[in-house]
Structure 1
Amino acid sequence: MKKKQINQDTKDKDDIQPQNIPEKVVWWAIANTYFIWLVGGLYVVGAIMGWLLLLFLVIKILAQTKDTPVEEKISISWVIWLWVIGMIFMEIALIGGHVDYNLPTSLIIKSSIGWAKGWAALALYPLAGCLNIRPQLIYRAVCIVGFHTLLITPFLLLAPSLHLPQVLYVSPLRAIGGPGNEFFDVPFYEIDGSTGDLRWRLFTPWGPALGFVGNVNFMLALQEKNQKWRYLGLIGSVLMCFVCKSRMAQLCIVVIPLLTSVLSGMSRPRILIGMGFASYLGGIFSPSIIMAIDNFWEGFKAARAASTRVRMALKRIAIYRWHTEAPIWGHGVVEDGPHIVEYMPIGSHHTWAGVLFVKGIIGFIALAVPMAASFIYLLIKSMNKECPTAKVGLSIVMILFLYANGENLEILVYLYWPGLVVMGIGCQETPNSKYLQTKDTKNIEEAT
């Protein structure tokens, strides 16, 4: 009986298939990432998916009756409600900034459409975690993306030697509208404007964005139970982080797993003893540690000095103009910067500075509160071994925190949304979830 059950468990791990419409939609969108990219449809799919999943959620809520089993009823965590309220306040801040600067109604409508494709998605995808979507399905789909990355990358690495064009074509879907051509093109490689080095961005608009996706996918692939798919997913994710040549990506892929393990294990004696011992040694060797950190940070900035200079200047300009010109509602719209920042949009490359410049202190609070609450809530839940998805959700929140200092979260949400769905599942997870019921059934059958 035990051998039969083990064989069945192995078969189940190898064969993960969607079981309902939301799972089918999510599986299709993730597993076919590269095929959708070839037609330039990733931005369109990412913008629509969140609203489609919301429609599924509303239908399921309306279909509930008093006879609906408790485990089938939709309940939304208060943390997810904070994301919903926060992103609504983002729209309020957007309208407030437009009105404050007497911008035309047509521009308010255009900016609101942008909000629906970006900021709103930061609430829509965690909301999708309230649907009956298994995290294991997302883990496997992400591993398939990693496998496809391993297949396509050798050809892309050879593309410069074969003198192929940097960009093969721009999809006709660009006519739908979006931030720029880079969100709809199919590139082979690119040349870094500041260093002249080759770098690859695959299906993302720029190199560091690929590192962002690679880190999210790495933490998801790490949860895959099938060893073959886990290795393919992990190697593919690591490859993304290195071919993009992003400093943040390479730092993040080492730091986040370590931080997640330490923080989620703080209730365990071994971790607490280890942290106490590390704290003791840290106090003794603090001068050397501080010097090493300073040297690392200087080397980190010097690795791409021109890029660092532009990023820091954009941040300073955004914060100064927010503080002196529009502290409450912000400026409402993005503005191009001066020559010193190569005319890049003010507040770009930094979520917090960008939010302050465009949406003021209202927008800043609207993002900071749900992010901080999610971190604390998932940190507490992750200490419970019976809530494994909460630990994954915690790692996703920490990735968002780190990348908020180097990217604009809202503009890339169409790429890393699988991580937000898992974060939402983690917020909903309870010790009595279906995952645990399955595990307990397995233990009973083995005992039999």
Structure 2
Amino acid sequence: MAPETPEERIVWCGLGWTYGFYALGALYLTGPIIGWLLFFLVVGRLLNANEAFRLPGPVILWLLGMLLMLVCIVVGHLQQGLGTGQLIKSSVGWAKGWALMALFILAGSTLRIRPEVVARAAMRVCLHTLVLLPVFVGAWLLRLPETAYVSPLKAIGGPGPEFFAVSLYELDPQSGLPRWRLFTPWAPALGFVANLFFLLAFVEQDQRWRRIGICASVLMILMSQSRLAILVLLVVIGLLFTLKYLRGPVLAFSAMAASLVFAFAGGWLLESAETAYESIKSARADSTRVREALARIALHRWQTEAPVWGHGVVERGPHLVEYMPIGSHHSWYGLLFVKGIVGFAALAIPLGASLVFLGFKLHRGLIVERAGFLFALLLLLYTFGENLEILAYLIWPGLIFIGLAHRSNAAPVPVPPLETSA
């Protein structure tokens, strides 16, 4: 496996050297650089008339939606009187956040990037994780400092020092137990990336690399101790099983059996699900309380102060929410608060279009289209627990796959057998 085109070399190095960039504290800068380099490749080939690209409708919606995010920033800043300096800073943040969502999907839908190259580069990151695991666990056992150092690159600017810090481990303030975030800014973000790598493991054709990817992904999810990551992993495993085995008449008979079971035991199942949900919430009662308070504040201030275009910038919350940014931990609340109902629609419409478009292509059984749909679904699930904008620099391999799945002239790739044994 080796990259053959300039775009594949960019992806191969940018993803495969994740831990190297992390050690330099440059990972937050690497994602935007990769995204804009791929965009310039697209523009260059269009200007040179070397290639004619056919953009699918959902990809166009992603481009328009993310441009609308920039319009929301400009209008919001003007309405709130935030000044030119803050507008420039927020526009740069857009270029490192929401813009990347469209740029990577565009790159996947137009450039010559093979899905197996992206998958193999991700499996290399998984292998590096397994190799470095004794270092991270040993740091906790030896009670070394939680943060080894913070890169001087933080002077360039970013959301916070945690994006430039090399963290060995961290202790949960509620339980006192260790959790790890590795190359991500916080532990739940590691669970997000690990679920993404778990899906990429099923794109990998080589069984040894696939087992490495599955083992490393599950370990990262468990090390993150993220409730949402564990729930999403179960959903992903269930969908992979369903798409592989429950097709045609088997799916119809399975649906009939499930309907009969629910008819007789539906009440008990709903009560059990509610009990399990409350148990999950109580596992981190403080975190749940902060999230719910942030949501209430974001909705109230959006409705009463800036319903259409939003407030323009993120604001710190009060002591009640431990000074967390209003609208954080939830993409939809964050969009409503910062960019109003217009920004909300700018994400909802292209994401919904991708899910519908790729959902209709699932019957073809192609691994790229299946993976693209699951990555889009992963984005939707994580909008309820993370801010997609701030993590775009980490989740870009999944965005490329969404673009690959939308590409109408994508060559069929056979689905490898579903084996999860390690």
What band does the TM-score fall into relative to the shorter chain?
over 0.9
Q: Distance in 1 between matches of 2:169 and 2:342?
A: 39
Q: Distance in 1 between matches of 2:222 and 2:362?
A: 29
The answer to whether 1:422 aligns with 2:392 is no
Name the counterpart of 2:148: 168
The answer to whether 1:316 aligns with 2:296 is yes
Name the counterpart of 1:11: none
Equivalent of 1:400 in 365, 372, 379: 379
Residues 27-49 of structure 1 show CA distances to partners (whole Å, capped at 9, x for unaligned) of 00111111111001110001211
Name the counterpart of 2:348: 368
Name the counterpart of 1:442: none
Shift of 1:311: 0.5
Question: Which structure is larger by alpha-carbon Rg, 1 or 2?
Answer: 1
Question: Are the equivalent residues in 2 in contact too, given 1:389–1:429 (CA < 8 A)?
Answer: no
Equivalent of 1:119 in 93, 98, 116: 98
Equivalent of 1:27 in 7, 12, 17: 12
So what's the TM-score if we normalise by structure 2? 0.95
Residues 365-397 of structure 1 show CA distances to partners (whole Å, capped at 9, x for unaligned) of 000001111111111112212x32110011111
Q: Distance in 2 between matches of 1:264 and 1:59?
A: 40
Q: Which moved more, 1:323-332 or 1:274-283?
A: 274-283
Shift of 1:94: 1.1
Aligned to 1:75, the other structure's residue is in SS state coil
Paired amino acid for 2:88: I
Shift of 1:416: 1.0
Name the counterpart of 2:264: 284
Shift of 1:194: 3.1
Shift of 1:117: 0.4
Aligned to 1:285, the other structure's residue is in SS state helix
Equivalent of 1:79 in 28, 40, 58: 58
The answer to whether 1:338 aligns with 2:338 is no
Name the counterpart of 1:18: 3
Residues 378 and 260 of structure 1: CA distance in aligned 2, closer, same or farther (over 3 Å): farther
Shift of 1:190: 0.7
Shift of 1:250: 1.0
Residues 265 and 62 of structure 1: CA distance in aligned 2, closer, same or farther (over 3 Å): farther
Residues 417 and 424 of structure 1: CA distance in aligned 2, closer, same or farther (over 3 Å): same
Aligned to 1:186, the other structure's residue is in SS state strand
The answer to whether 1:358 aligns with 2:338 is yes
Name the counterpart of 2:418: none
Matching of residues 187-202 of structure 1 within 5 Å: 187-202=167-182
Name the counterpart of 2:420: none
Shift of 1:279: 1.9
Paired amino acid for 2:175: T
Shift of 1:272: 2.4
Aligned to 1:412, the other structure's residue is in SS state helix
Q: Distance in 2 between matches of 1:186 and 1:125?
A: 26
The answer to whether 1:300 aligns with 2:280 is yes
Name the counterpart of 1:445: none
Name the counterpart of 2:250: 270
Question: Are the equivalent residues in 2 in contact too, given 1:98–1:332 (CA < 8 A)?
Answer: yes
Aligned to 1:18, the other structure's residue is in SS state coil
Structure 1 runs not aligned, ≥5 long? 1-15, 66-71, 440-448
Q: Distance in 2 between matches of 1:336 and 1:144?
A: 38
Question: Are the equivalent residues in 2 in contact too, given 1:82–1:370 (CA < 8 A)?
Answer: yes
Name the counterpart of 1:36: 21
Residues 76-101 of structure 1 show CA distances to partners (whole Å, capped at 9, x for unaligned) of 11111100000011111111111111
Shift of 1:221: 1.1
Shift of 1:153: 1.1
The answer to whether 1:50 aligns with 2:32 is no
Paired amino acid for 2:242: V
Aligned to 1:110, the other structure's residue is in SS state helix
Shift of 1:61: 1.8
Paired amino acid for 1:64: A
Q: Distance in 2 between matches of 1:100 and 1:265?
A: 54
Shift of 1:434: 3.2
Q: Distance in 1 between matches of 2:355 and 2:298?
A: 26
Name the counterpart of 1:59: 44
Residues 295 and 303 of structure 1: CA distance in aligned 2, closer, same or farther (over 3 Å): same
Q: Distance in 1 between matches of 2:15 and 2:192?
A: 16
Q: Which moved more, 1:127-136 or 1:260-269?
A: 260-269
Aligned to 1:120, the other structure's residue is in SS state helix
Question: Are the equivalent residues in 2 in contact too, given 1:118–1:413 (CA < 8 A)?
Answer: yes
Matching of residues 234-249 of structure 1 within 5 Å: 234-249=214-229
Shift of 1:261: 4.7
Question: Are the equivalent residues in 2 in contact too, given 1:219–1:257 (CA < 8 A)?
Answer: no
Paired amino acid for 1:214: A
Aligned to 2:149, the other structure's residue is in SS state strand
The answer to whether 1:349 aligns with 2:332 is no
Question: Are the equivalent residues in 2 in contact too, given 1:168–1:187 (CA < 8 A)?
Answer: yes
State, as a whole percentage, how many aligned pairs show the same letter.
46
Shift of 1:265: 7.6
Q: Distance in 1 between matches of 2:342 and 2:34?
A: 27
Name the counterpart of 1:185: 165
Question: Are the equivalent residues in 2 in contact too, given 1:264–1:391 (CA < 8 A)?
Answer: no
**Paired positions, count:** 413
Question: Are the equivalent residues in 1 in contact too, given 2:310–2:339 (CA < 8 A)?
Answer: yes
Aligned to 1:289, the other structure's residue is in SS state helix
Q: Distance in 1 between matches of 2:401 and 2:407?
A: 10
Structure 2 runs not aligned, ≥5 long? 415-422
Residues 416-438 of structure 1 show CA distances to partners (whole Å, capped at 9, x for unaligned) of 110100111011144xx3346xx
CA-based RMSD of the aligned residues comes to 1.5
Aligned to 2:394, the other structure's residue is in SS state helix
Question: Are the equivalent residues in 2 in contact too, given 1:328–1:361 (CA < 8 A)?
Answer: yes
Aligned to 1:324, the other structure's residue is in SS state helix
Q: Distance in 2 between matches of 1:19 and 1:435?
A: 19
